[in-house]
Amino acid sequence: MGDTNEQKQNGTANAKSKLPIILAGAGAAVVALLLLVIVLVVVMVNAGKTINLNKYASINVTGYNTVGTAQIDFDYEQFKEDYGNKIKFKSKDENTSFMSMFYSSPADCLIGEYVDGSFDKNSQISNGDEIVYKWDCDDEEIKKLFGYKVKYKDLKLTVKGLEEVATFDPFEGVELIYTGIAPNGSAEVKNNSTAPYASRLSFQMDVRDGLSNGDVVTVTVYDGGSQNPMQYFINAFDAIPSTTEKQFTVDGLGSYADSAAQIPADTLEKMKSQANDLINAYVANNWNSGSRMDSCNYIGNYFLTAKNAQSYGDYSNIILVYEIQITIDNQDRNILDSFTFYTAVTYTDPILLPDGTCSIDLSRGSLASNTFSKQYPGGWFGYTYTIKGYEDLDTLQNKLVTTQIDRYSYENNISQ
């Protein structure tokens, strides 16, 4: 009992000493609670200043299977309803004043100027494709100008439900018509199709002129110059072409002969016969009674081919050469002389036809116009006979061939 007071005092002391501890603990709890409230307030305030872009955006794929098109659908109306009156420019300066000229509100400016993105694939889409849209936003500028943070993550969509698109053959009934002579032939497209879409199709060729047999012409169905050709066809024809190009091999063109050996024997005989007629007609009309032609023999030809295949002149010439024996018999002048000279008849552009025949305009045969003179004594000044032709083969070749070697290659087929 003697130590009861002491115990009581100690107990009292101990009890009293515990109170501040309890109060201190309560105070710490209160402080912690206040800090938590502050943090929650800050988080809530910050949460209210964050825009979740994914809430307003979705991927939309339209069109047909294999030619689908992806686009991003952004719900501007809902965005404006949520933020139209909240988003403000944090400050007024020259930049924000400039932006205000182009956008009806700061909210429009934020989305229109600083929010963007792109697809990993946005065309030629098929069912089963996974489409990914990656945002591309200027987070810092959005925070700086509007005081908002934006959050987002890639949008993904596995495509399904696209309908199959109808197809058509744009080249059904299409042929190429070839005209002209190789190597300067031309081609044009002729569409014989009676399909309802045929009259609305147009075609392009990679080459239409300067053609020879065996050349390949690639014809492409015109897509309107669109960056998305298949979409163009869907819009125009409600279907897509089964193919967009087709190759045609040029055939059926006549071609210019480039060697005398290519000319069929019967054609050469016709040219020789016509040349003989030209020579005989000239002799009959121009030689006087004191001159006679004893013989006229074909001795071969020169064949000239233009060096420039695109030449607008003659592509090739065949020059038929004749050796003529002449006698001048003028008893009044006491002249009797026999000698040989040479003349030529030129034909232009012999054309080899696909059926193996040769076409040439015989009416264009041209008798050489060169002349030379023979002098005989007698009278005051002697007598001169002017003869149309060449005194020797060298002169003929020089005048008719050598003078043109800058423009023509030639072959010599003279037999002597």
**CA torsion through residues 146, 152, 154, 158, sign:** negative
pLDDT at 136 over 90: yes
Q: Are strands 383-388 and 149-151 parallel, antiparallel or unpaired?
A: unpaired
Map residue 345 onto helix, strand or coil: strand
Q: What pLDDT is stored for residue 14 in this prediction?
A: 41
In sequence order, what are the beta bridge partners of 74? 57
Look at residues 155, 158, 192 and name the one whose alpha carbon lies nearest to residue 173.
192
Lowest mean pLDDT among 94-98, 274-278, 323-327: 94-98
Q: What pLDDT is stored for residue 30 in this prediction?
A: 45
Structure pTM? 0.60
Q: What percent of the chain has pLDDT over 90?
A: 72
Q: What pLDDT is stored for residue 309 in this prediction?
A: 65
Residue whose entry in the numeric block shows the structure tokens 């042929």: 175
Q: What pLDDT is stored for residue 5 in this prediction?
A: 43
Q: What pLDDT is stored for residue 48 in this prediction?
A: 54
- The amino acid at residue 281 is A
pLDDT at 378 over 90: no
Instruction: Report, as an integer, the average pLDDT of 54-80.
Output: 94
Instruction: Report, as an integer, the average pLDDT of 43-69.
Output: 83
Lowest mean pLDDT among 114-118, 259-263, 313-317, 319-323: 313-317
pLDDT at 61 over 60: yes
Query: What does each C-alpha distance from 378 to 103, 199, 336 come to in angstroms?
Result: 113, 85, 13
Q: What pLDDT is stored for residue 41 in this prediction?
A: 43
Q: How far apart are CA 260 and CA 318, in angstroms?
A: 7
Query: 337 or 380, which is more confident?
Result: 337
Q: How far apart are CA 254 and CA 180, in angstroms?
A: 7
Instruction: Report, as an integer, the average pLDDT of 303-322.
Output: 87
- The amino acid at residue 92 is K
Residue whose entry in the numeric block shows the structure tokens 């591309």: 136
Residue 273 near residue 248, CB atoms below 8 Å: no
Mean pLDDT estimate for the chain: 88
Residue 63 near residue 69, CB atoms below 8 Å: yes
